[in-house]
Amino acid sequence: MPHQLDLEGYLQRIGFVGEPRADVATLRALATAHIAAIPFENLDPLTDAPVSLELAAIEAKLVNGQRGGYCFEQNALFSAVLKAVGFDVTGLIARVLWNQPEDAESPQTHMLLRVEVEGESWLADVGFGSMALGGALRLVVDEAQPTSLEPFRLVTDGVQWRIQARVGEQWRTLYRFRLQPAEPVDYVVGNHFTSTFPQSLFRHNLIVARTLADRRLALRNREFAMHALGHESVRRTLQNVDEIKRVIEEQFGIRLPASPVLDARLAALPMPEA
């Protein structure tokens, strides 16, 4: 029997007040509340714990367990929520280009959602870490669209689409994708690669992120950063395991997993390059 999502429990987890409806205002509000309440984090791959894409396991972890997760978990949960509210949702899959050349050959390791609402197509994505999309984007080309923080836009060559964010004076690409719906097995393969491949970024680095109404919080290994629009970024280096764990708990609201190897993995994290 398929798992039945606890929609009310999810809405309480993200602090959503009111009656959710299948409209644009609700879509935007849910996405913005989700990324503020449920952080991006990769503690399971870092500590060799399996990452399940079963909805019951995701709900137990992200909703009931006061944890976060990465894109496959975050957007699988969000898709289930949107469908429970009454939205028409299709899963897509993308190749990440953030901090890479525009023509980089990258694997399909990112999940996003296409949502049909009020006669238009929208894109939603609550799982892109430090550049999470605050709200949703209309599926239109070359139009700067406001979000809860930076403007975003979509560009296309007619086949490939790219999501870009306005960072400072530049448009920077997050990832590229096609509009062809992904099959569930695509996410299984991407999740397996991301969480178990020996050279996967998530196996050797601590990556935690949370997007609030006025700022983005990011932890990459020992560097904790706060990025507020219109202000210089504030960064500090975390010196020891206790300090790292305190920031994860207090700044990101994560209940740390009971892993026998967590402290050792955190102790081994490299210092930022000078």
- The 3-state DSSP class for residue 134 equals coil
For residue 99, give the DSSP letter.
T
Residue whose entry in the numeric block shows the structure tokens 């469908």 = 83
The residues, any chain, with a CB within 8 Å of residue 168's CB and separated by 6 or more, are none
71 is catalytic: yes
| 103: annotated active-site residue | no
3-class secondary structure, 178: coil
What's the half-sphere exposure (Cβ side, CA atoms, 13 Å) at 57? 10
Catalytic residue among 71, 186, 231, 263: 71
* Residue 22 burial by Cβ neighbours in a 10 Å radius (0-12, 13-18, 19+): middle
DSSP 8-state code for residue 196: H
Among 23, 110, 214, 231, the active-site one is: 110
Question: Is 227 considered catalytic here?
Answer: no
What CA–CA distance (Å, rounded) separates 159 from 169? 27
From 34, 44, 125, 227, active-site residue: 125
Residue 206, both tokens: 């601590």
Q: How would you class 151 by CB atoms within 10 Å of its CB: exposed for 0-12, middle for 13-18, buried for 19 or more?
A: middle
Residue type, 202: F
How far apart are the two ends of the chain, measured CA to CA in Å?
54
Q: Which residues are the active-site residues?
A: 71, 110, 125
